[in-house]
Amino acid sequence: MKFKEFLIKSGGVISSIALLGSMFTMSGAFYVPDAKYTCSVCGNEFSGLYRNPEPTTYQEYYSVGNIDGFSSISSSHVYSGTLLKIVFLNGKPICKDCLDKKIAEYKAANANSLSTPGVGNTPITVTADPSTFSVTVPTNVPLVINADGSVTAPTDVKIANGSAGSVQVSSIAMNNGDWSLTDYNGGNRSKLAEAKVDSKKLGLSLTAAGNAASTSKDGSQTPSIDVSKWTMAGGTELPITVGAIATANSAEAASEVTAANVVFTLAWV
């Protein structure tokens, strides 16, 4: 087949091919190849597609304001399947999945933001070290039994709360020492009148704010107390009045003895 005949017979086909080629060339003028990015968070690679007109920013897409560290690139690449511009986190690209998570975290942390007029519940969070527990207690409660049977007790017994918070004496235990505890009986010594001399019995009472913790029977015991009376605000003192009765002694004590022990249990209010 000669070339002329060929043109005549196949002119329609060639024209179609030429037209198609021409069309292809025209659409190719708007095509930009996908860009490849590596997510700075998960490390996965993802595609960025060109879109025109100007695609959506993350602020518009997620309905958020500017978030520190997040930015959109100046080009018009978008995440695949969206019109959302590729977002950079601290100058490095981030994939759509990781971006969704970051935005979700941001929204959760700022969930109390009001988009409409209303009441916002705003928690007040405080970070604090435990308060220092600083309390001064008596090192001892010395008693002196006089020749007439009376007992001289110290008048300066107190507990001082040097802490910032309130402290209370939650319980007081009175335990036998070299002497055995007996009924204080309101300070009335009539019960001891028939006790044997040198039987070493001691009745003890500690009073704070009008509330007395007194022995009421023989032996070690934990008198009930009104804890509210044994409470100290921070930086205050609790004076304690000591009362005691004791049995007679046939001879002067050769040396000081620990007649009993008092156990103060302290705690924060």
Binding-site ranges for other proteins (CB under 8 A) = 133-149, 152-154, 156-158, 160, 170, 177-179, 188-190, 192-199, 202, 204, 246-253, 256-268
Residue with Cβ nearer other proteins (211 or 261): 261
We find the least distance from the C-beta atom of residue 127 to other proteins, in angstroms, to be 21
Residue with Cβ nearer other proteins (74 or 250): 250
We find the least distance from the C-beta atom of residue 150 to other proteins, in angstroms, to be 8
Please state, in angstroms and rounded to a whole number, the distance separating the CA atoms of residues 149 and 140. 21
Handedness of CA 57, 60, 63, 66 (dihedral sign): positive
Residue with Cβ nearer other proteins (99 or 157): 157
We find the least distance from the C-beta atom of residue 92 to other proteins, in angstroms, to be 49
Residue with Cβ nearer other proteins (103 or 169): 169
Please state, in angstroms and rounded to a whole number, the distance separating the CA atoms of residues 150 and 244. 8
Neighbours of 268 (CB within 10 A): 12
CA 90 to chain centre: 31
Alpha helix locations (H) across 28-117? 58-62, 96-109
Residue 101: name the closest of 112, 89, 90 by CA: 89
Residue with Cβ nearer other proteins (106 or 264): 264
- Cα→Cα distances 29→17, 24, 162, 178, 207, Å: 19, 9, 83, 108, 99
